[in-house]
């Protein structure tokens, strides 16, 4: 949950703006009475409350007094027994709304999360773990929404109007009944994380390769038999480019270079010939996994990703440690690649073996 931080840095001020009823085993009438109690009102003014925590109770409905929280920014309703979110939710200036793990259906959601004729301030919406059967169309109106979580429901398809949510950075729809993904997902230019795991997806649209800011793509536990070649393409795939850029090789130290020569040349070293710390270092040599290479490495290594066939149906990534990049140069073509193709070729070598 995105934590709301007020402009004030005073701890007492923040506490005055937070009303915490979490994990109190409250039912509806208890909460209604408590909000009207003189003890609470004497301490905090409802109109000044910015954070209201009602999580992990037994609420089946929200109190009518919720409409009086005119400054509310964060509302946590998670892990209750809620069967409805009232329309008043859309009239509150919320930044974060968490309603996961309840009993909400599509019909029990507000018709709109936006105050009429105003832009929504909502940046995070969590409806995971409910009873939704289709993607809630009203969320596509939330132009400023950054994080949307609707996992653990029974949603069978993603709205084709998802492209309207141009501020979206995280889209989590794992654990549903999705069979496909609309092409319009590829238009979410700010998307950084896409969670599609635990569904029934058989194919992915090639438009996903256009998500230039994507850093995380979760696809496990689906019915995918292959990935579109555009997604695996090394030219435009941001996941691959980021992965390769992170695999920078730092030059080995002089100590490692000397130790490699000692080990590969088979120089005999007896106790007392060298300081004990050097002897311990020499004993930590790792053999290069390339069968044609007799080299070793210590702290410095080349990480090589190779895809291998598994059961004749899948290509599984295998991480190998090599002593040098020269250990993968034996597959270089006889004609040297042009300068423009060098980087792409080396990326392909690293990722596809």
Model confidence at 232: pLDDT above 70: no
The span from the CA of 73 to the CA of 128, in Å, is: 20
Taking the C-alpha atoms of residue 276 and residue 242, their distance in angstroms, rounded to an integer, is: 41
pLDDT band, residue 317 (cuts 50/70/90): low
State the pLDDT at residue 209: 86
Q: How far is CA 8 from the centre of its chain?
A: 30
Q: In whole angstroms, what is the distance from residue 44 CA to residue 289 CA?
A: 66
Average pLDDT, the chain: 81
* d(C-alpha 20, C-alpha 5), whole Å: 16
Q: For position 347, what pLDDT does the model report?
A: 42
pLDDT value at 254 more than 60:
yes
Cβ atoms of residues 85 and 108 within 8 Å: yes
State residue 305 phi and psi, 5-degree precision: -95, 125
Q: Quick check: 5 pLDDT over 90?
A: no
Q: Go through the domains of the chain in sequence order and give each one's CATH number.
A: 13-244 (3.80.10.10), 254-327 (no CATH)
* Residue 331 clears pLDDT 50, i.e. is over it: no
H or E element that contains 256? helix 254-264
Give one DSSP letter per residue of 238-255, joined into a string: HHHHHHHHH-PPPPPPHH
Nearest Cα neighbor of 314 from 249, 187, 197, 224 is 224
Q: pLDDT confidence of 252, banded at 50, 70, 90?
A: confident
Question: What per-residue confidence (pLDDT) applies to 307?
Answer: 65
Q: What does the alpha-carbon distance between residue 4 and residue 16 come to, in Å, rounded to a whole number?
A: 14
Read off the pLDDT band of 238 (50, 70, 90): low
Q: 96 vs 309, which has greater pLDDT? A: 96
Report whether pLDDT(237) > 60. Answer: no
Instruction: Decide if pLDDT at 336 tops 50.
Output: no
């Amino acid at each position: 949950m995105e934590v709301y931080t007020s402009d004030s840095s005073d701890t007492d001020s923040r506490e005055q703006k937070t009303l915490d009823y979490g994990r109190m085993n409250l039912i509806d009438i208890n909460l209604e009475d408590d909000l009207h109690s003189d003890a609470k009102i004497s301490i905090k003014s409802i109109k000044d409350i910015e954070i209201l925590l009602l999580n992990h109770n037994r609420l089946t409905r929200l109190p009518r007094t919720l409409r009086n929280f005119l400054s509310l920014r964060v509302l946590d309703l998670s892990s209750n027994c809620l069967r409805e979110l009232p329309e008043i939710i859309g009239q509150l200036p919320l930044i974060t709304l968490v309603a996961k793990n309840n009993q909400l259906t599509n019909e029990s959601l507000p018709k709109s999360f936006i105050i009429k004729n105003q832009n929504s301030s909502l940046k995070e919406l969590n409806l995971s773990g409910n009873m939704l059967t289709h993607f809630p169309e009203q969320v596509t109106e939330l132009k400023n929404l950054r994080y949307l979580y609707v996992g653990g429901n029974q949603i069978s398809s993603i709205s084709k109007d998802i492209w309207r949510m141009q501020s979206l950075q995280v889209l989590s729809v794992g654990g549903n009944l999705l069979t496909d993904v609309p092409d319009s997902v590829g238009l979410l230019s700010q998307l950084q994380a896409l969670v599609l795991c635990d569904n029934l997806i058989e194919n992915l649209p090639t438009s996903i390769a256009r998500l230039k800011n994507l850093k995380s793509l979760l696809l496990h536990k689906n019915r995918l038999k292959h990935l579109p070649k555009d997604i695996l393409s090394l030219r435009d795939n941001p996941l691959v480019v980021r992965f390769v850029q992170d695999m920078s090789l730092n030059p080995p130290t002089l100590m490692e270079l000397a130790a490699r020569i000692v080990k590969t040349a088979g120089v005999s070293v007896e106790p007392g010939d060298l300081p004990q710390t050097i002897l311990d270092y020499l004993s930590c040599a790792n053999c290069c996994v390339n069968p044609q290479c007799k080299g070793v490495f210590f702290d410095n290594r080349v990480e090589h990703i190779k895809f291998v066939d598994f059961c004749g149906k899948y290509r599984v990534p295998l991480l190998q440690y090599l002593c040098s990049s020269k250990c993968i140069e034996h597959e270089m073509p006889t004609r040297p690649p042009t300068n423009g193709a060098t980087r792409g070729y080396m990326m392909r070598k690293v990722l596809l073996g």
